[in-house]
């Protein structure tokens, strides 16, 4: 079989058509990596949502079981994009349809390559990934681990999908959980911080719109400074911090309240929770 080398030549079936699938589809279409006709989206029962996806993105959707099966059979890449609790049933339905040359890309938090292969009953080529929601605007950060069965062309095709919607780190599978703690769930911590900054700004007398705009621009500027200068964040922080000035006073409050330890504990707890979820998915499915 002649495998296509880039996402532009693939037929990609999203098996699960919720928020993460939509984020990636939106990003791929926005970046013109694929034609909408190369993408199919399948869900369990929400027909209205499939109609919305077809109308909004021009993707192919299948609603009855025969159409779903045809789309899954015809795809060179099948992206598993359902919640972990639904994965067993969905993979069970997929199993009789698959050929050995199809690449399975999983977005499912905690679901290991060996569990997917066990559920499929064979050593299918697998890419286990952990994207984040910023993929929808082309600024995602995705971790990706491959099974040995994925050949060079399939690896390149999977990388093309996620590179189209942001940056990609190829990692050993045992690093997936800590990556989830940093970048998979990471946007939520930043939003949480931004919520607090906006609230404090409003408490201090800024209008809600001003507080929001100033916070957004501050986070955008800080991230862009790190990216564009390549500087260590500690150096950039020190550049802002005048001796005995207002920034120092603020950072002292954060340090007194255990800022670094708290953020590190949150990242590690996220990784631990990802492992727990993976374990319970494995136990519930096998």
In whole angstroms, how close is the CB of 224 to ligand NDP at the nearest point? Answer: 22
Which residue reads 């060179």 in tokens? 76
Query: What order of strands is seen across the sheet that includes strand 39-42?
Result: 60-61, 39-42, 12-15, 77-80, 103-106, 126-130, 140-146, 166-170
Closest to ligand A1CAB by CB, 150 or 270: 270
Q: Which does 45 bind (CB under 5 to 8 A by kind): ligand A1CAB, ligand NDP, none?
A: ligand NDP
Q: How many residues bind ligand NDP (CB under 6 A)?
A: 28
Closest to ligand NDP by CB, 157 or 179: 179
Q: Which does 175 bind (CB under 5 to 8 A by kind): ligand NDP, ligand A1CAB, none?
A: none
Which residue reads 């993976």 in tokens? 278
Phi, psi angle pair for 168, to nearest 5°:
-135, 135
In whole angstroms, how close is the CB of 12 to ligand NDP at the nearest point? Answer: 15
Reading the block at residue 21, the tokens are 């699938």
Candidate list 39, 72, 81, 109; residue touching ligand A1CAB; CB under 6 A = 109
The SS3 assignment for 151 reads coil
Q: Could you give the CA distance from residue 29 to residue 245 in angstroms, rounded to a whole number?
A: 47
Q: Could you give the CA distance from residue 155 to residue 153 in angstroms, rounded to a whole number?
A: 5
Q: Which 158-197 residues touch ligand A1CAB, going by CB under 6 A?
A: 180, 184-185
Candidate list 51, 56, 83, 223; residue touching ligand NDP; CB under 6 A = 83
Q: Sign (positive/negative) of CA torsion 153, 158, 161, 165?
A: negative
Give contact residues for ligand NDP (rule: CB under 6 A). Answer: 15-21, 42-46, 49, 81-84, 86, 89-90, 107-109, 130-133, 184
């Amino acid at each position: 079989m002649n495998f296509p080398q880039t996402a532009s030549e693939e037929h990609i079936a999203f098996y699960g058509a919720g928020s993460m699938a939509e984020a990636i589809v939106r990003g791929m279409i926005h970046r013109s990596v694929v034609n909408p006709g190369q993408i199919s989206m399948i869900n369990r029962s929400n027909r209205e949502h499939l109609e919305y996806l077809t109308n909004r993105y021009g993707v192919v959707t299948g609603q009855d079981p025969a159409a779903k099966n045809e789309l899954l059979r015809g795809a060179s890449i099948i992206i598993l994009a359902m919640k972990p609790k639904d994965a067993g049933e969905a993979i069970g339905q997929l199993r009789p349809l698959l050929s050995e040359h199809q690449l399975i890309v999983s977005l499912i938090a905690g679901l290991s390559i060996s569990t997917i292969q066990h559920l499929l009953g064979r050593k299918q080529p697998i890419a286990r990934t952990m994207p984040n929601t910023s993929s929808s605007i082309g600024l995602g950060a995705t971790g990706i681990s491959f099974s040995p069965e994925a050949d060079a062309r399939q690896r390149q095709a999977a990388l093309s999908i996620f590179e189209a919607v942001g940056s990609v780190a190829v990692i050993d599978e045992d690093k997936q959980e800590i990556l989830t703690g940093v970048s998979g769930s990471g946007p939520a911590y930043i939003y949480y911080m931004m919520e607090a900054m906006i609230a404090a700004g409003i408490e201090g007398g800024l209008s809600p719109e001003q507080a929001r705009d100033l916070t957004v621009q501050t986070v955008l500027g800080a991230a862009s400074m790190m990216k564009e200068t390549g500087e260590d964040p500690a150096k950039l922080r020190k550049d802002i911090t005048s001796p005995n000035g207002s920034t120092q006073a603020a950072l002292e409050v954060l340090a007194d309240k255990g800022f670094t330890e708290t953020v590190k504990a949150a990242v590690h707890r996220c990784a631990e929770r990802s492992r727990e979820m993976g374990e319970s998915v494995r136990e519930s499915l096998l």
